[in-house]
Amino acid sequence: MKKLLCACVALTLMCTASLGLASSNRNERLYLLDHIKPLEESEMPATPLGVRHYLLVSMDKWQNNMDNLGYNDGLVLLTMDGQTGRVIVTSIIRDALVIRPDGNPGRINRIIREYGAQGLLDTISRHFGIKVEKYVMMDWRHIMEIVDAVGGVDVPLTSSEIHYMKNWSVPVNSTQPVLEGPGTYHLNGFAAVIFMRIRRTRASNDLDTQDIGRTYRARLVLSSIAAKLSSYDLNSAQNLLTDILKIWEEPYDKAFTYPGIRNNNIFVAGTMPNGPGKKRAETNITMADILDALGLAFSLRGARVEQCRLPFDNTYRPYEYAKSAGQLMDFEINRALLKDFMFPETFIVSEDPLR
C-alpha cells in the first residue's frame, strides 16, 4: 500500500510538472506572437527603381546535401542600387526569433530546412519590410573556393581571433604573414571560412561577440572581396563569373577533405545524397539575372561598400524559447531603421518584379 501511495504521488507530481511546462510553453508562444509582428503581403512596401536584392545563404556544412538540408548558418543580403550608386551588405543574425510560415515562433536558422528557400525569402521580406526574391544557397566549400578564385581577402585579426584560428589548425600557408600577433592578414579561402565562423571571441571592432560578431566578420570578408573587384575590367569580371559558375556546378564529393578540416563526419560528410553527382548549390537566379547583376555590379565597382546589420544596436535582447537561446528584436523599429538606412531619399517605385 505504501509503495502504491508513493507511486500515485510521484505520478501526480509528474503530471503537474508536465502541465506546468505545457502552460509555460503556451505562455511563451503567446508572448512571442504578441511581440513579433511581421507585415502582411498587402503591407509590403514596393521596391525602389534600380534596386536589386540578392540573399546569400550559407549552409552549415562543408558540403551541402540538397536531399537532407541542414540549417542556414549565415544570411547576408547584397543590395545594389543603380539609382543612388550604392552597394550595401546587410547581415542577419542566425538566432533571430521570427514567426515561421506555419504561424509559430522559431529561430530563423531553421526556416530553410523546414520550409525551403521560398519560406526563408518570405520570412525575411515580411519581417524586415523589403521584398527579397532572389537567392543563392551555398556551403562552406563554395565560399572557400570563391574566395580563392578572387585571390584571397585582407582582414584585421585580433590576438583572440588568431588563437582561435591556430586552434583550428589553419595551415601555415593559408595566411600571409604566418599567424602571430594582431594586425591585418591576407587569408586564403579556408582561413576566411574559419575566420567567419569564429563566435566566442570579440571581433576586431571591439564590440561584437557570438552571432553578432560572426555577422561582422562576414561583412568584412565580403567588403574585402568588393574592394578587390573594384579594380577589375569587364573581361576580368566575366572570367571571374565563369569561374564562380563552375564552382557552383561542382557536385557533392564524399571523398572531399582539406588540410585543417576537422573530419567529424558531421560538418564534412554527414548524410550522403540519394544519388551520385548531386549539386550542392541552389539558386533561382537565371542567366539573364546574372548578366543584369554583372552589368550593375560593374557600373558600381567604384562605390564604397556600406555595411548594415539586422538587428540594429539596442533593438533586441536575449530570449530563450523552446529550450533554445535566441534574440528577440523589435521588428517595427528595425523595419523603420532599415528603410531610413537603405532608402533615405524619395524614390520611384518600380513595376518590374525583378527589381
Q: Is residue 106 part of a domain?
A: yes
* Mean pLDDT of all residues belonging to the chain: 88
Q: Is residue 8 part of a domain?
A: no
Q: Is residue 266 part of a domain?
A: yes
Top pLDDT among 9 and 75 is at 75
The number of folded domains in the chain is 1
Cα–Cα distance measured from residue 165 to residue 190, given in angstroms and rounded to the nearest whole number: 11
Question: Domain span at residue 303?
Answer: 51-342
Low-confidence winner among 1-10, 65-74, 182-191 (lowest mean pLDDT): 1-10
Amino acid identity for residue 199 in this structure? R
Using H for helix, E for strand and C for coil, what is the string for 296-332? HHHHCCCCCEEEEEECCCCCEEEEEECCEEEEEECHH
Task: Residue 158: name the closest of 215, 211, 217, 212 by CA.
Answer: 217
Q: Is residue 126 part of a domain?
A: yes
The model's confidence at residue 299, banded by pLDDT at 50, 70 and 90, is: very high
The CATH code of the domain that includes 86 is 3.40.630.190
Q: Is residue 259 part of a domain?
A: yes
Question: Is the separation of the CB atoms in 323 and 332 below 8 Å?
Answer: no
Percent of the chain clearing pLDDT 70 (strictly above): 86
Q: Is residue 355 part of a domain?
A: no
Q: Is residue 353 part of a domain?
A: no
Which residue in this structure is represented by grid cell 570578408?
221
- pLDDT tens digits, 82-113: 999 999 999 999 999 999 999 999 999 999 99
What is the model's pLDDT at position 13? Answer: 46
Q: Is residue 12 part of a domain?
A: no
Top pLDDT among 259 and 143 is at 143
